[in-house]
Chain A
Protein backbone atom coordinates (compact mmCIF):
# COMPACT_ATOMS: atom_id res chain seq x y z
CA UNK A 1 0.00 0.00 0.00
CA UNK A 2 2.79 2.36 0.88
CA UNK A 3 4.36 1.62 -2.45
CA UNK A 4 1.12 2.61 -4.18
CA UNK A 5 1.04 5.81 -2.20
CA UNK A 6 4.58 6.57 -3.21
CA UNK A 7 3.65 5.94 -6.80
CA UNK A 8 0.66 8.18 -6.45
CA UNK A 9 2.71 10.90 -4.86
CA UNK A 10 5.51 10.47 -7.35
CA UNK A 11 3.09 10.67 -10.24
CA UNK A 12 1.57 13.83 -8.90
CA UNK A 13 4.76 15.61 -8.07
CA UNK A 14 4.77 18.94 -9.73
CA UNK A 15 7.73 20.41 -11.50
CA UNK A 16 7.49 23.66 -9.59
CA UNK A 17 7.36 22.07 -6.17
CA UNK A 18 10.76 22.07 -4.58
CA UNK A 19 11.85 20.57 -1.32
CA UNK A 20 11.27 23.86 0.41
CA UNK A 21 7.64 24.51 1.22
CA UNK A 22 8.25 28.20 1.63
CA UNK A 23 8.99 28.45 -2.09
CA UNK A 24 5.37 27.71 -2.84
CA UNK A 25 3.88 30.06 -0.35
CA UNK A 26 6.24 32.98 -0.83
CA UNK A 27 4.74 35.74 -2.86
CA UNK A 28 1.69 33.76 -3.85
CA UNK A 29 -0.98 35.33 -1.70
CA UNK A 30 0.47 38.80 -1.21
CA UNK A 31 -1.72 40.61 -3.72
CA UNK A 32 -4.71 38.57 -2.67
CA UNK A 33 -4.08 39.36 0.98
CA UNK A 34 -4.19 43.06 0.23
CA UNK A 35 -7.56 42.60 -1.44
CA UNK A 36 -8.80 40.43 1.40
CA UNK A 37 -8.18 43.28 3.82
CA UNK A 38 -11.20 44.97 2.26
CA UNK A 39 -13.46 42.01 2.91
CA UNK A 40 -14.98 43.20 6.23
CA UNK A 41 -16.04 46.51 4.67
CA UNK A 42 -17.40 44.73 1.60
CA UNK A 43 -19.35 42.35 3.80
CA UNK A 44 -20.92 45.22 5.72
CA UNK A 45 -21.97 46.91 2.49
CA UNK A 46 -23.27 43.66 1.04
CA UNK A 47 -25.32 43.06 4.17
CA UNK A 48 -27.10 46.32 3.41
CA UNK A 49 -27.97 45.03 -0.06
CA UNK A 50 -25.05 46.54 -1.99
CA UNK A 51 -24.74 44.31 -5.06
CA UNK A 52 -21.47 45.88 -6.15
CA UNK A 53 -19.88 44.96 -2.85
CA UNK A 54 -21.26 41.45 -3.15
CA UNK A 55 -19.88 41.21 -6.69
CA UNK A 56 -16.48 42.14 -5.30
CA UNK A 57 -16.77 39.45 -2.64
CA UNK A 58 -17.67 36.98 -5.36
CA UNK A 59 -14.61 37.90 -7.41
CA UNK A 60 -12.32 37.64 -4.39
CA UNK A 61 -13.58 34.24 -3.28
CA UNK A 62 -14.67 32.61 -6.51
CA UNK A 63 -11.44 30.68 -7.13
CA UNK A 64 -11.32 29.14 -3.65
CA UNK A 65 -14.91 27.99 -3.70
CA UNK A 66 -14.52 26.79 -7.28
CA UNK A 67 -11.48 24.66 -6.40
CA UNK A 68 -13.30 23.08 -3.53
CA UNK A 69 -16.36 22.33 -5.65
CA UNK A 70 -14.24 21.03 -8.50
CA UNK A 71 -12.30 18.71 -6.27
CA UNK A 72 -15.48 17.08 -4.97
CA UNK A 73 -17.77 17.32 -7.97
CA UNK A 74 -15.38 16.97 -10.84
CA UNK A 75 -14.86 19.32 -13.67
CA UNK A 76 -17.17 18.21 -16.42
CA UNK A 77 -19.83 20.61 -17.63
CA UNK A 78 -20.76 23.42 -15.31
CA UNK A 79 -21.01 21.35 -12.14
CA UNK A 80 -18.39 23.25 -10.16
CA UNK A 81 -19.50 26.63 -11.53
CA UNK A 82 -23.12 25.84 -10.66
CA UNK A 83 -22.06 24.89 -7.15
CA UNK A 84 -20.22 28.20 -6.79
CA UNK A 85 -23.30 30.07 -7.99
CA UNK A 86 -25.52 28.19 -5.57
CA UNK A 87 -23.09 28.88 -2.75
CA UNK A 88 -23.16 32.62 -3.39
CA UNK A 89 -26.93 32.63 -3.86
CA UNK A 90 -27.32 31.08 -0.42
CA UNK A 91 -24.71 33.43 0.97
CA UNK A 92 -26.60 36.44 -0.40
CA UNK A 93 -29.80 35.22 1.22
CA UNK A 94 -28.08 34.49 4.54
CA UNK A 95 -25.89 37.58 4.60
CA UNK A 96 -28.26 39.72 6.70
CA UNK A 97 -27.85 37.13 9.46
CA UNK A 98 -24.05 36.97 9.13
CA UNK A 99 -22.19 38.04 12.26
CA UNK A 100 -18.50 38.88 12.12
CA UNK A 101 -16.87 36.71 14.76
CA UNK A 102 -13.35 37.61 13.71
CA UNK A 103 -13.01 34.47 11.60
CA UNK A 104 -12.25 35.00 7.90
CA UNK A 105 -15.33 35.43 5.73
CA UNK A 106 -14.13 32.65 3.46
CA UNK A 107 -14.58 30.16 6.31
CA UNK A 108 -18.28 31.08 6.41
CA UNK A 109 -18.50 30.70 2.65
CA UNK A 110 -16.80 27.32 2.85
CA UNK A 111 -19.40 26.17 5.34
CA UNK A 112 -22.12 27.03 2.83
CA UNK A 113 -20.16 25.52 -0.04
CA UNK A 114 -19.79 22.29 1.87
CA UNK A 115 -23.59 22.00 2.18
CA UNK A 116 -23.99 22.74 -1.51
CA UNK A 117 -21.46 20.06 -2.43
CA UNK A 118 -23.11 17.54 -0.13
CA UNK A 119 -26.50 18.35 -1.67
CA UNK A 120 -25.06 17.83 -5.11
CA UNK A 121 -23.41 14.57 -4.10
CA UNK A 122 -26.68 13.39 -2.57
CA UNK A 123 -28.35 14.01 -5.92
CA UNK A 124 -25.74 11.87 -7.57
CA UNK A 125 -24.28 14.81 -9.38
CA UNK A 126 -20.70 13.76 -8.84
CA UNK A 127 -19.01 13.69 -12.21
CA UNK A 128 -16.30 11.19 -12.88
CA UNK A 129 -13.70 13.47 -14.35
CA UNK A 130 -12.47 12.29 -17.68
CA UNK A 131 -11.49 15.58 -19.20
CA UNK A 132 -8.27 17.51 -19.14
CA UNK A 133 -6.96 18.52 -15.78
CA UNK A 134 -6.72 22.17 -14.87
CA UNK A 135 -3.56 24.04 -15.61
CA UNK A 136 -1.02 23.68 -12.82
CA UNK A 137 -1.68 20.04 -12.10
CA UNK A 138 0.99 18.47 -14.27
CA UNK A 139 1.84 15.06 -13.02
CA UNK A 140 -1.67 14.38 -11.74
CA UNK A 141 -4.02 11.92 -13.25
CA UNK A 142 -7.72 12.48 -13.06
CA UNK A 143 -8.06 9.40 -10.92
CA UNK A 144 -5.47 10.74 -8.51
CA UNK A 145 -7.60 13.81 -7.96
CA UNK A 146 -10.73 11.81 -7.47
CA UNK A 147 -8.94 9.47 -5.10
CA UNK A 148 -7.64 12.40 -3.11
CA UNK A 149 -11.09 14.03 -2.95
CA UNK A 150 -12.64 10.81 -1.73
CA UNK A 151 -9.89 10.39 0.84
CA UNK A 152 -10.52 13.93 2.13
CA UNK A 153 -14.22 13.07 2.44
CA UNK A 154 -13.33 10.17 4.68
CA UNK A 155 -11.33 12.28 7.12
CA UNK A 156 -12.80 12.96 10.55
CA UNK A 157 -14.84 16.18 10.35
CA UNK A 158 -12.41 18.35 12.32
CA UNK A 159 -9.40 17.19 10.32
CA UNK A 160 -11.29 17.56 7.04
CA UNK A 161 -12.18 21.14 7.89
CA UNK A 162 -8.56 21.93 8.65
CA UNK A 163 -7.46 20.45 5.33
CA UNK A 164 -10.16 22.28 3.37
CA UNK A 165 -9.63 25.64 5.03
CA UNK A 166 -5.86 25.48 4.93
CA UNK A 167 -5.24 23.99 1.52
CA UNK A 168 -8.32 24.76 -0.55
CA UNK A 169 -9.35 28.07 1.02
CA UNK A 170 -5.70 29.09 1.34
CA UNK A 171 -6.02 30.19 4.94
CA UNK A 172 -3.10 30.48 7.30
CA UNK A 173 -3.06 28.31 10.39
CA UNK A 174 -3.85 31.32 12.57
CA UNK A 175 -6.92 32.03 10.45
CA UNK A 176 -8.01 28.41 10.55
CA UNK A 177 -7.61 28.52 14.32
CA UNK A 178 -9.80 31.61 14.47
CA UNK A 179 -12.43 30.02 12.24
CA UNK A 180 -12.57 26.81 14.23
CA UNK A 181 -12.19 28.40 17.66
CA UNK A 182 -8.96 26.58 18.47
CA UNK A 183 -5.40 27.59 19.21
CA UNK A 184 -2.88 27.87 16.42
CA UNK A 185 -0.81 25.16 18.04
CA UNK A 186 -3.79 22.84 18.01
CA UNK A 187 -4.34 23.53 14.32
CA UNK A 188 -0.68 22.88 13.55
CA UNK A 189 -0.90 19.52 15.22
CA UNK A 190 -4.28 18.73 13.68
CA UNK A 191 -2.99 19.55 10.23
CA UNK A 192 -0.21 17.00 10.36
CA UNK A 193 -2.43 14.49 12.05
CA UNK A 194 -4.92 14.96 9.21
CA UNK A 195 -2.21 14.38 6.66
CA UNK A 196 -1.18 11.25 8.53
CA UNK A 197 -4.79 10.02 8.42
CA UNK A 198 -5.04 10.93 4.75
CA UNK A 199 -1.92 8.95 4.04
CA UNK A 200 -3.40 5.94 5.81
CA UNK A 201 -6.65 6.22 3.83
CA UNK A 202 -4.73 6.44 0.58
CA UNK A 203 -2.61 3.45 1.56
CA UNK A 204 -5.75 1.39 2.14
CA UNK A 205 -6.89 1.87 -1.43
Chain B
Protein backbone atom coordinates (compact mmCIF):
# COMPACT_ATOMS: atom_id res chain seq x y z
CA UNK B 1 0.00 0.00 0.00
CA UNK B 2 1.45 3.32 -1.01
CA UNK B 3 1.71 6.27 1.34
CA UNK B 4 -0.62 8.40 -0.74
CA UNK B 5 -3.40 5.82 -0.40
CA UNK B 6 -2.85 5.61 3.36
CA UNK B 7 -3.18 9.38 3.67
CA UNK B 8 -6.33 9.45 1.58
CA UNK B 9 -7.86 6.66 3.68
CA UNK B 10 -7.03 8.64 6.83
CA UNK B 11 -8.78 11.67 5.36
CA UNK B 12 -11.77 9.55 4.44
CA UNK B 13 -11.98 8.03 7.92
CA UNK B 14 -11.84 11.50 9.41
CA UNK B 15 -14.72 12.53 7.17
CA UNK B 16 -12.52 14.93 5.19
CA UNK B 17 -12.79 13.15 1.84
CA UNK B 18 -15.70 11.29 0.21
CA UNK B 19 -15.24 7.72 -0.90
CA UNK B 20 -15.87 8.67 -4.50
CA UNK B 21 -12.86 10.97 -4.43
CA UNK B 22 -10.66 8.14 -3.18
CA UNK B 23 -11.94 5.75 -5.81
CA UNK B 24 -11.26 8.37 -8.42
CA UNK B 25 -7.70 8.90 -7.19
CA UNK B 26 -7.03 5.19 -6.76
CA UNK B 27 -8.73 3.19 -9.48
CA UNK B 28 -9.26 -0.51 -8.87
CA UNK B 29 -10.87 -2.53 -6.11
CA UNK B 30 -8.36 -1.72 -3.34
CA UNK B 31 -10.10 1.34 -1.91
CA UNK B 32 -13.43 -0.42 -1.92
CA UNK B 33 -12.05 -3.57 -0.28
CA UNK B 34 -10.20 -1.69 2.43
CA UNK B 35 -13.10 0.56 3.33
CA UNK B 36 -15.45 -2.44 3.42
CA UNK B 37 -13.04 -4.27 5.71
CA UNK B 38 -12.94 -1.19 7.89
CA UNK B 39 -16.73 -1.22 8.09
CA UNK B 40 -16.74 -4.91 8.92
CA UNK B 41 -14.34 -4.51 11.76
CA UNK B 42 -16.09 -1.44 13.06
CA UNK B 43 -19.36 -3.36 13.06
CA UNK B 44 -17.63 -6.19 14.91
CA UNK B 45 -16.89 -3.76 17.72
CA UNK B 46 -20.54 -2.75 17.89
CA UNK B 47 -22.08 -6.19 18.07
CA UNK B 48 -24.61 -6.82 20.75
CA UNK B 49 -23.32 -8.59 23.84
CA UNK B 50 -25.06 -10.09 26.86
CA UNK B 51 -25.51 -7.73 29.77
CA UNK B 52 -22.75 -7.68 32.35
CA UNK B 53 -24.89 -8.41 35.42
CA UNK B 54 -25.09 -12.17 35.07
CA UNK B 55 -21.37 -12.38 34.48
CA UNK B 56 -20.66 -10.12 37.43
CA UNK B 57 -22.81 -12.23 39.74
CA UNK B 58 -20.80 -15.28 38.79
CA UNK B 59 -17.50 -13.46 39.00
CA UNK B 60 -18.10 -11.72 42.31
CA UNK B 61 -18.66 -15.08 43.97
CA UNK B 62 -15.17 -16.14 42.87
CA UNK B 63 -13.46 -12.84 43.64
CA UNK B 64 -11.07 -13.02 46.60
CA UNK B 65 -11.18 -10.18 49.08
CA UNK B 66 -10.25 -7.61 50.14
CA UNK B 67 -6.81 -7.14 48.53
CA UNK B 68 -6.46 -9.71 45.78
CA UNK B 69 -2.67 -9.77 45.40
CA UNK B 70 -2.06 -10.28 49.11
CA UNK B 71 -4.91 -12.69 49.61
CA UNK B 72 -3.78 -14.91 46.78
CA UNK B 73 -0.29 -15.11 48.19
CA UNK B 74 -1.25 -15.51 51.85
CA UNK B 75 -4.25 -17.65 52.69
CA UNK B 76 -6.05 -16.53 55.83
CA UNK B 77 -5.49 -19.47 58.18
CA UNK B 78 -1.78 -20.03 57.68
CA UNK B 79 -1.26 -16.30 58.09
CA UNK B 80 -2.72 -16.46 61.60
CA UNK B 81 -0.59 -19.46 62.40
CA UNK B 82 2.51 -17.74 61.05
CA UNK B 83 1.93 -14.73 63.27
CA UNK B 84 1.73 -16.92 66.36
CA UNK B 85 4.85 -18.78 65.35
CA UNK B 86 6.74 -15.57 64.81
CA UNK B 87 5.71 -14.33 68.22
CA UNK B 88 6.84 -17.53 69.82
CA UNK B 89 10.15 -17.39 68.04
CA UNK B 90 10.63 -13.78 69.09
CA UNK B 91 9.89 -14.52 72.75
CA UNK B 92 12.10 -17.59 72.79
CA UNK B 93 14.89 -15.70 71.08
CA UNK B 94 14.69 -12.87 73.58
CA UNK B 95 14.68 -15.29 76.51
CA UNK B 96 17.67 -17.13 75.09
CA UNK B 97 19.57 -13.89 74.57
CA UNK B 98 18.86 -12.72 78.12
CA UNK B 99 19.86 -16.09 79.59
CA UNK B 100 23.07 -16.14 77.63
CA UNK B 101 23.95 -12.58 78.54
CA UNK B 102 23.09 -13.18 82.18
CA UNK B 103 25.16 -16.34 82.24
CA UNK B 104 28.14 -14.62 80.74
CA UNK B 105 27.72 -11.69 83.12
CA UNK B 106 27.47 -14.02 86.11
CA UNK B 107 30.63 -15.75 84.95
CA UNK B 108 32.20 -12.31 84.72
CA UNK B 109 33.56 -12.92 81.24
CA UNK B 110 31.86 -10.08 79.38
CA UNK B 111 33.92 -7.10 78.22
CA UNK B 112 34.15 -4.35 80.84
CA UNK B 113 31.41 -1.95 79.61
CA UNK B 114 29.01 -4.79 78.82
CA UNK B 115 29.69 -6.39 82.18
CA UNK B 116 28.99 -3.10 83.95
CA UNK B 117 25.79 -2.53 81.97
CA UNK B 118 24.45 -6.00 82.73
CA UNK B 119 25.50 -5.74 86.37
CA UNK B 120 23.69 -2.41 86.72
CA UNK B 121 20.49 -3.78 85.16
CA UNK B 122 20.71 -6.93 87.24
CA UNK B 123 21.24 -4.82 90.32
CA UNK B 124 17.91 -3.12 89.73
CA UNK B 125 16.34 -6.56 89.56
CA UNK B 126 17.91 -7.59 92.85
CA UNK B 127 20.55 -9.82 91.28
CA UNK B 128 24.18 -9.55 92.29
CA UNK B 129 26.38 -9.65 89.22
CA UNK B 130 30.02 -8.59 89.46
CA UNK B 131 31.17 -5.34 87.88
CA UNK B 132 34.16 -5.30 85.63
CA UNK B 133 36.22 -3.52 88.32
CA UNK B 134 35.61 -6.49 90.64
CA UNK B 135 37.23 -8.93 88.31
CA UNK B 136 40.86 -9.78 88.99
CA UNK B 137 43.24 -8.98 86.27
CA UNK B 138 44.53 -12.45 85.61
CA UNK B 139 47.21 -11.31 83.26
CA UNK B 140 48.77 -8.76 85.61
CA UNK B 141 48.40 -11.16 88.55
CA UNK B 142 50.37 -13.83 86.73
CA UNK B 143 53.02 -11.33 85.80
CA UNK B 144 53.21 -10.18 89.39
CA UNK B 145 53.74 -13.74 90.62
CA UNK B 146 56.34 -14.34 87.93
CA UNK B 147 58.09 -11.11 88.82
CA UNK B 148 58.31 -12.09 92.47
CA UNK B 149 59.60 -15.52 91.55
CA UNK B 150 62.39 -14.03 89.51
CA UNK B 151 63.30 -11.10 91.67
CA UNK B 152 62.86 -12.20 95.25
CA UNK B 153 66.17 -12.45 97.17
CA UNK B 154 64.74 -15.31 99.23
CA UNK B 155 65.82 -18.85 98.59
CA UNK B 156 64.41 -22.25 99.31
CA UNK B 157 61.32 -22.48 101.43
CA UNK B 158 61.25 -18.75 102.05
CA UNK B 159 61.26 -18.03 98.33
CA UNK B 160 58.44 -20.48 97.82
CA UNK B 161 56.55 -18.93 100.66
CA UNK B 162 57.01 -15.44 99.24
CA UNK B 163 55.78 -16.58 95.86
CA UNK B 164 52.93 -18.47 97.43
CA UNK B 165 51.80 -15.43 99.35
CA UNK B 166 51.65 -13.36 96.19
CA UNK B 167 50.03 -16.12 94.18
CA UNK B 168 47.34 -16.75 96.76
CA UNK B 169 46.72 -13.12 97.58
CA UNK B 170 43.25 -13.20 95.96
CA UNK B 171 42.37 -16.34 97.80
CA UNK B 172 43.42 -14.76 101.05
CA UNK B 173 41.14 -11.85 100.37
CA UNK B 174 38.27 -14.24 100.54
CA UNK B 175 39.63 -16.48 103.27
CA UNK B 176 37.84 -16.54 106.54
CA UNK B 177 38.80 -17.98 109.88
CA UNK B 178 42.26 -18.52 111.31
CA UNK B 179 45.32 -17.62 109.33
CA UNK B 180 47.19 -20.52 107.82
CA UNK B 181 50.36 -21.67 109.54
CA UNK B 182 53.52 -20.52 107.83
CA UNK B 183 55.05 -23.56 106.11
CA UNK B 184 58.68 -22.54 106.66
CA UNK B 185 58.08 -21.96 110.37
CA UNK B 186 56.51 -25.40 110.55
CA UNK B 187 59.41 -26.82 108.66
CA UNK B 188 61.91 -25.18 111.01
CA UNK B 189 59.84 -26.40 113.95
CA UNK B 190 60.12 -29.86 112.44
CA UNK B 191 63.89 -29.68 112.32
CA UNK B 192 64.45 -27.85 109.05
CA UNK B 193 63.52 -30.87 107.05
CA UNK B 194 62.14 -28.80 104.26
CA UNK B 195 65.54 -27.31 103.60
CA UNK B 196 66.88 -30.79 103.15
CA UNK B 197 64.44 -31.92 100.60
CA UNK B 198 65.84 -33.84 97.66
CA UNK B 199 66.34 -32.47 94.16
CA UNK B 200 62.83 -33.48 93.16
CA UNK B 201 61.19 -31.68 95.99
CA UNK B 202 63.46 -28.72 95.41
CA UNK B 203 61.28 -27.85 92.51
CA UNK B 204 58.59 -27.28 95.05
CA UNK B 205 60.12 -24.01 96.07
CA UNK B 206 60.65 -22.71 92.57
CA UNK B 207 58.36 -20.32 90.83
CA UNK B 208 56.22 -23.10 89.44
CA UNK B 209 55.80 -24.66 92.77
CA UNK B 210 54.92 -21.31 94.21
CA UNK B 211 52.11 -21.08 91.77
CA UNK B 212 50.98 -24.52 92.77
CA UNK B 213 51.00 -23.44 96.37
CA UNK B 214 48.48 -20.85 95.53
CA UNK B 215 46.03 -23.52 96.51
CA UNK B 216 45.30 -23.50 100.21
CA UNK B 217 44.46 -27.14 100.13
CA UNK B 218 47.77 -27.79 98.49
CA UNK B 219 49.57 -26.12 101.36
CA UNK B 220 47.60 -28.08 103.88
CA UNK B 221 48.17 -31.24 101.95
CA UNK B 222 51.89 -30.79 101.91
CA UNK B 223 51.91 -29.84 105.55
CA UNK B 224 49.95 -32.81 106.62
CA UNK B 225 52.24 -35.19 104.79
CA UNK B 226 55.45 -33.67 106.00
CA UNK B 227 57.97 -35.77 107.81
CA UNK B 228 57.16 -36.52 111.46
CA UNK B 229 58.62 -34.24 114.09
Which residues of A line the B interface, CB within 8 A? Answer: 2, 5-6, 9-10, 12-14, 17, 19-22, 24-25, 28, 48-49, 51, 54-55, 58-59, 62-64, 66-67, 70-71, 81, 84-85, 88-89, 92-97, 134-137, 145, 148, 163, 166-170, 188-189, 192-193, 195-196, 198-199
B82 within 8 A of A: no
A selection of 12 A-B contacts at a CB cut-off of 8 Å is: A9-B36, A21-B35, A58-B55, A64-B45, A85-B55, A96-B67, A134-B49, A145-B44, A192-B1, A193-B6, A195-B41, A199-B37
Of B39, B49, B52, B65, the contact of A21 (CB 8 Å cutoff): B39
**Beta-carbon contact of A188 and B10 below 8 Å:** yes
Report how far A191 CA is from B65 CA in the complex, Å: 40
A9-B33, A134-B47 are known contacts; what are 13 more A-B pairs with Cβ within 8 Å?
A9-B40, A21-B13, A54-B63, A66-B50, A67-B47, A85-B62, A94-B68, A94-B69, A96-B67, A188-B6, A188-B10, A195-B37, A195-B41
User: With A2-B33, A25-B42, A59-B56 in contact, do A20 and B68 touch (Cβ < 8 Å)?
Assistant: no
Against A, the Cβ 8 Å flags (1 = close, 0 = not) of B1-43 are: 1010110011011010011000000000100011111111111
Number of B residues, CB within 8 Å of A: 48
Report how far A21 CA is from B37 CA in the complex, Å: 11
Report how far A9 CA is from B68 CA in the complex, Å: 45
**Interface SS majority for chain B:** helix
Q: Which residue of B lies closest to A138 (CB)?
A: B43
Report how far A119 CA is from B63 CA in the complex, Å: 20
Report how far A81 CA is from B3 CA in the complex, Å: 41
User: With A85-B55, A93-B72, A199-B33 in contact, do A51 and B47 touch (Cβ < 8 Å)?
Assistant: no
**Beta-carbon contact of A167 and B41 below 8 Å:** yes
**Beta-carbon contact of B46 and A24 below 8 Å:** yes
Which residues of B line the A interface, CB within 8 A? Answer: 1, 3, 5-6, 9-10, 12-13, 15, 18-19, 29, 33-50, 52-56, 58-60, 62-70, 72
**Beta-carbon contact of B43 and A63 below 8 Å:** no
Residues of A within 8 A of B50 (CB): 66, 81
Report how far A129 CA is from B65 CA in the complex, Å: 36
Q: Which residue of A lies closest to B10 (CB)?
A: A188
Of B12, B37, B68, the contact of A96 (CB 8 Å cutoff): B68
Report how far A134 CA is from B46 CA in the complex, Å: 10
Q: Which residue of A lies closest to B46 (CB)?
A: A136
User: With A6-B29, A192-B6 in contact, do A20 and B59 touch (Cβ < 8 Å)?
Assistant: no
Residues of A within 8 A of B42 (CB): 17, 21, 24-25, 167
The 5 closest A-B pairs by CB, nearest first: A62-B52, A49-B66, A135-B48, A167-B41, A9-B36
**Beta-carbon contact of B58 and A85 below 8 Å:** yes
**Beta-carbon contact of A136 and B56 below 8 Å:** no
- Kindly provide the distance from the CB of B149 to the nearest chain A CB, expressed in whole angstroms: 77
User: With A19-B19, A84-B55, A94-B69 in contact, do A13 and B36 touch (Cβ < 8 Å)?
Assistant: yes
- Kindly provide the distance from the CB of A155 to the nearest chain B CB, expressed in whole angstroms: 12
User: With A67-B49, A188-B6, A196-B34 in contact, do A24 and B43 touch (Cβ < 8 Å)?
Assistant: yes
Of A17, A58, A134, the contact of B39 (CB 8 Å cutoff): A17
Residues of B within 8 A of A95 (CB): 68-69
Report how far A12 CA is from B29 CA in the complex, Å: 17
**Beta-carbon contact of A81 and B55 below 8 Å:** yes
- Kindly provide the distance from the CB of A18 to the nearest chain B CB, expressed in whole angstroms: 9
**Beta-carbon contact of A58 and B33 below 8 Å:** no
Pick the most buried of A70, A169, A199: most chain B CB atoms within 10 A of its CB: A199
**Beta-carbon contact of B44 and A168 below 8 Å:** yes
User: With A13-B36, A93-B72 in contact, do A134 and B48 touch (Cβ < 8 Å)?
Assistant: yes
User: With A51-B65, A59-B56, A67-B49 in contact, do A196 and B1 touch (Cβ < 8 Å)?
Assistant: yes
- Kindly provide the distance from the CB of B62 to the nearest chain A CB, expressed in whole angstroms: 6
Of A2, A12, A62, A148, the contact of B55 (CB 8 Å cutoff): A62
